[in-house]
Structure 1
Amino acid sequence: MSALFNFQSLLLVILLLICTSTYAHQVIPAIMNRNNSGVFGIFWKAARIGERLSPYVSICCIAMAISLFLQ
């Protein structure tokens, strides 16, 4: 089953995108800041979500890890 049809897998992919984009923005901010529109703007927006909502994102990551561990 692909990640588009399984809701839990889709949430996992979105969380990984947010966490990866936030990390990449902190390591190399110049690349992320100049690509804030267009197709690569998705990564810039995900980095902003990760920076501004980091406590909620980390709680979601922990909850997802627990739910995957209990399966």
Structure 2
Amino acid sequence: MPTDPATVVYNLIQKDPSIIAAAVIQGRDTILYSTDNWDISSDVGRVVSSWNSMNAPFVMLSGVKYSVLQCTSE
């Protein structure tokens, strides 16, 4: 099973063509990989903070509001 972020994202997008962009973040603000069509660098800290709260109803990326349907600690 591949573990490098680019391969994982590529395989995910191949399995589900409705996914048009993805990013892999490590820690609080390190972007390990992001698809070319999605620059989240200016939002990564705020997104991780919202996600880590484990109860954020949404996250904002590039001015777009995304609903959080489920959030787990895994």
Mark yes or no: TM-score above 0.5: no
Specify which structure has the higher proportion of helix. 1
TM-score interval (norm. to shorter): under 0.3
Q: Which has the higher contact order (CA 8 A, sep 6+)?
A: 1
Structure with bigger strand share is 2
Structure with larger Rg: 1
TM-score under structure 1 normalisation?
0.26
